[in-house]
Structure 1
Amino acid sequence: MNIFSSFFGGDTEAKAARPFQEVIQEIAADQDTSGDFNALNEEALDATAVLCAVRVIAQGIAQVPFKLLQKQKNDRGLEATAHPLFKVLRHEPNDWQTSYELREQIAFHLILTGNAFVFLNRHNRTAEILELYAYEPGCVTVTQDSEYNLSYRVQTGKRKTIDFIDVPAENMWHIKGPSWNGWMGLNATKLARQAIGLSLAGEQFGANLYKNGARPGGILSTDANLTADQRAELKRAWNEQQSGTKNAHKTAVLGGGMKFQPIASTANEAQWTESRKFQIQEICRAFGVQPVMLMADGATSYNSVEQLLLAHLTHTLMPWYERIEQSAYKALLSKEDKAKGFYIKLDSKALLESSNADRLAYYNAGRTQGWLTTNEIRALEDLPRSDDPMADQLMPAANLFGQTETPLPTENNNEATDVN
């Protein structure tokens, strides 16, 4: 029996999941339940709709540059390449992961469990952040004292070798999803367990349907009295000859007054296909993802798909970007860094790189409206800097300063001018 089966009780009525605090208490009592907690969230990914929904969000978070910037006197942000944290965020968070891989892992934890826990390995003397490590959410216990201070206990080891490490709050980057109490995120897997369980049940139904040759189950009956051994042998022989896709559509030969009575409905009668489509929509609602991002069928044109992709960026990814940026600013930057104008940003402009038309329109607007220089545009395109002194100058916005050239004559203004 798997984790979801324990919640749903197999074919029985669905059961409520254990509260997170109950899991926490059992961990504190030296019972190894972190594996069950992590397995629950991993098993949710067995539902393809959940896997796709989580993946498109996680990849959207991981694929954009994670930048450490410093605000200049003109309020323009400049990449702080000399800061020690720049390399950690942008390229190498630790010895075995890239920035993309760590952020993808963090996103999976955050989206499914509502919490992501990243250990900040600091220098003993300078408190400089040297590395970032992500803990599995089920291994971390969070408590809040009477003065609202948070503390973190991390479970290490398995079964009889369980150990605990107390991590100070200043050494833990705790990213929270939507929260009820303000200090722990809500677990999306548990909140959507009914929809996820139904999706898994639908997939299992389809697998069993085709495993049994897409033929309905039924009852073999006879007027004769059969012993237990005879019934077992009859069942074995029937399954051997008729069950499975390799035996589909074979002709069954019955003797001795044997009768077969089908009792199960077909996939169409059970509305299995429609149910699976509806469950995709349910998963989309739970994770806030557009159905088009889950490759769901729909009557969409090219223009409508383009707008839906923009909606995915605006309504799905941008809230996660803002949540992560604010959390990183709070946890990763010191008071001195904040005073010097350092800030952290997930650069969503990278999502437009696949569209030349969008990029050109963006660059043209920035150049003509006076907020992008030629060399900044060249840097965004990974082109070498121009030596032209004007390449680092902002162009005055035409809508504020007007045209500098004499306009061409029009049809209504082409008559000879009286020089007298």
Structure 2
Amino acid sequence: MKDSFFQKIIRVFSPGYGKVKDKPKQLTHGATWDSPYGVRRTFDPLNALSAFAGHGYTNAAASRASEDLSALPLVFSIGKGKKEQIIDRGPVHDLFEQPSSDVDGFSFREQITLDLIMTGNCYVLWLGVSKPVSIVRLHPEEVKVETDNKGLKYYEWNSGGEITRFPPERIIHGKQASWQKGPQSLYGTGAIEPLSREITADINAQKLVSDASAKGRPDVLLYPKDPADIWNSERRRQISSQYRGLASEGGALVLSGQIEMRELKLSPREMEFEAARVTARQSISAVFGVPPSVLGLPTANYATSRQQAINYWQVQQKRAIRMNHLYTKIGRLLDPEINVKHDFSEIDELQDVRSKKLERISLHIAHGMSASDAYAYEGLKDAPLSMNKQEEQEQEEESKILNDYVYYLTLTRSVPDFHNLPVSSEPYNPTDRKKSEIEDEILGLNEDWERYKKAHLWFDNENQNTKAGYKLPIARMNDGVLTVFRDKLGDAIAALNGARGGVDISDEDRRQAWNLAAQYYQKFEEEPPPLKKKVGDENPTNFPQAGDDLKVSLRNSEHQVFDLNYAENIKKKSS
């Protein structure tokens, strides 16, 4: 409802116009929300529901959607996640099986689902003193909302001219999304409102076809080819009789003159009606989420029909979410902890989707996730698990220990990731620049330590913001781009193998640094030099002279990698 010109003027000059509320405690609406006699609906619910009886395709789509959803079993549970427990029997079950004395559970669910789809709203009144003993459906045409400046105040029910007001806590109101503003936004938008023109046009086209079929029309026109040839009534009767016999039984038509024949086909106007009817059906299927093949209409092939069925049930799953909330609100009138939802586990069309989820669950478990968490993550938390709680708890503890260890390795790792830097076979330092100049150029004016890290094979995890915390350089800036150089890469692997005193890092870091260097060797299309064993192994291979490989003791050594002179001294003392 738009404000009138005078209302806008009054709002501008009102003292309360544009008040600032820094800490609002309650939403307060304007005077237009004050509707003590009920809020007018923009689309008549009775008109919307009349399409269920007046249009065949709409009836088929609405019936199929509401019946299929209402035929699904309901699951009643308490708690969430790992603490969820399925309730097999209770007062909530009884209420949904027999909502009232004259309406069974399926009919009740079908009717309110139909109301919600067609009109965008459904209303359920619960009867009883403090807890419901029965629940009844109220016709959407008979219910209006009453509002004041604070919002919803009452539900007004007008049945046969007798008006009754119910407080909001007595009515369970299910609604779809709304396009309206103001108090009209409390009404949902049903499927018929956007389809009203298509349905009306289709009904009009049906009426024209029906009128034409009642009147009848000729199929063929027979007339003399020579305009001068005039047929009298007897000759016309004979020709017509012979043609009817020929059309029904076949044979030869013998005439004494030449006859022109012209078949009367559909007019362009009639063809437009047929196209309009097809378009209307497509629109109805799209809005209701019910594909033509689900309603029994032919499709291109089995694959198309199968995919349409899967899409239909996926739409039903989304529609069920809204109904789950509505049923849960009803159930919590009896049990404040109950949850109600639809069970789609027996729907064949969703088994392909379920199978893909099971494949992903297997991958989750293989990567350390517990079975219950993996099922819950894929939306199958209600799946029965074979392991008992103790086994599952032990598995979760093992998974936690493994995750903590992986996290620890992440924090303590000292080898950068592979960043696929550009490579060059040119000399690393052809102009004999100072080492500090090369390092400062990599760092830049803003001290980019992340870029500095990429230029090395190893860094001290606790000393990342100083040059002393980095070893085994392999890259420098080249025309403004950090580039790995072939000769510097070879120097780094030589240092890993003990050249020039080696490098003082752990065995695991040596292996990781060599792996990183090997990835850059692949960019040069070369095999990297092998990573040699360190002195002190069972059969050392990096003594200065071949054959000088007597066993040595590392017990009193403070060095992880011996330099050559130190190894020679130990060898001489041992001999």
* TM-score range for the pair, normalised by the shorter chain length: 0.5 to 0.7
TM-score, L = length of structure 1: 0.59
**Pick from 110, 114, 117: which aligns with 2:116?**
110
Larger radius of gyration: 2
The unaligned stretches of length 5 or more in structure 1 are 1-24, 217-248, 250-263, 373-378, 381-389, 402-420
Map 1:8-407; keep pairs closer than 5 Å. 37-38=45-46, 40-71=48-79, 74-79=82-87, 81-82=89-90, 84-89=91-96, 91-122=97-128, 124=129, 127-157=130-160, 162-180=161-179, 181=181, 182-214=185-217, 266=266, 269-271=269-271, 272-299=273-300, 301-314=301-314, 316-330=315-329, 332-334=331-333, 337-338=335-336, 340=337, 342-352=338-348, 370=371, 393=388
Q: Quick one: which amino acid aligns to residue 59 of structure 1?
A: E
Distance 2:143 2:265 in 1: 46
C-alpha deviations, 1:215-240, integer Å up to 9, x for none?
59xxxxxxxxxxxxxxxxxxxxxxxx
| Contact 1:65-1:350 within 8 A present in 2 as well | no
- Distance verdict in 2 for CA 1:194–1:215, change over 3 Å: farther
Q: CA RMSD in A?
A: 4.1
SS at match of 2:133: strand
Shift of 1:285: 2.9
Distance 1:350 1:156 in 2: 41
| Contact 1:54-1:108 within 8 A present in 2 as well | yes
Distance 2:322 2:142 in 1: 23
Moved more, 71-80 or 201-210: 71-80
> Which one has more relative contact order, counting CA pairs under 8 Å at least 6 apart?
1
SS at match of 2:270: coil
C-alpha deviations, 1:37-74, integer Å up to 9, x for none?
52552245422221122112111221111332112783
Q: Quick one: which amino acid aligns to residue 346 of structure 1?
A: H
Q: Quick one: which amino acid aligns to residue 278 of structure 1?
A: T
SS at match of 2:154: strand
Distance 1:269 1:49 in 2: 22
Q: Quick one: which amino acid aligns to residue 282 of structure 1?
A: S
Distance 2:317 2:72 in 1: 12
**Paired position in structure 1 for 2:522:** none
C-alpha deviations, 1:8-51, integer Å up to 9, x for none?
xxxxxxxxxxxxxxxxx9x979xxx9xx8525522454222211
Distance 1:103 1:62 in 2: 6
Distance 1:154 1:265 in 2: 55
SS at match of 1:74: helix
Moved more, 288-297 or 128-137: 288-297
Percent sequence identity over matched residues?
Answer: 16
Q: Quick one: which amino acid aligns to residue 304 of structure 1?
A: T
| Contact 2:124-2:171 within 8 A present in 1 as well | yes
- Distance verdict in 2 for CA 1:267–1:324, change over 3 Å: farther
Distance 1:214 1:111 in 2: 41
- Distance verdict in 2 for CA 1:131–1:391, change over 3 Å: same
- Distance verdict in 2 for CA 1:113–1:278, change over 3 Å: same
Distance 1:117 1:50 in 2: 22
Distance 2:81 2:319 in 1: 29
Q: Quick one: which amino acid aligns to residue 285 of structure 1?
A: A
**Paired position in structure 1 for 2:543:** none
C-alpha deviations, 1:56-97, integer Å up to 9, x for none?
211122111133211278333312523x222112x1111122
Distance 1:96 1:285 in 2: 35
Equivalent residue pairs, number: 296
C-alpha deviations, 1:153-209, integer Å up to 9, x for none?
11112xxxx111111211111100122344210143233211110111122222222
Moved more, 164-173 or 176-185: 176-185
- Distance verdict in 2 for CA 1:265–1:324, change over 3 Å: same
- Distance verdict in 2 for CA 1:78–1:179, change over 3 Å: same
SS at match of 1:57: helix
Distance 1:132 1:39 in 2: 25
- Distance verdict in 2 for CA 1:109–1:72, change over 3 Å: closer
| Contact 1:44-1:196 within 8 A present in 2 as well | no
C-alpha deviations, 1:87-140, integer Å up to 9, x for none?
112x11111222111111111111111100111112x2xx22211111110011
| Contact 1:113-1:188 within 8 A present in 2 as well | yes
SS at match of 1:322: helix
Shift of 1:268: 6.1
- Distance verdict in 2 for CA 1:109–1:214, change over 3 Å: farther
**Paired position in structure 2 for 1:259:** none
Distance 2:46 2:283 in 1: 23
| Contact 2:48-2:119 within 8 A present in 1 as well | no
Shift of 1:150: 3.8
Distance 2:267 2:146 in 1: 49
SS at match of 1:164: strand
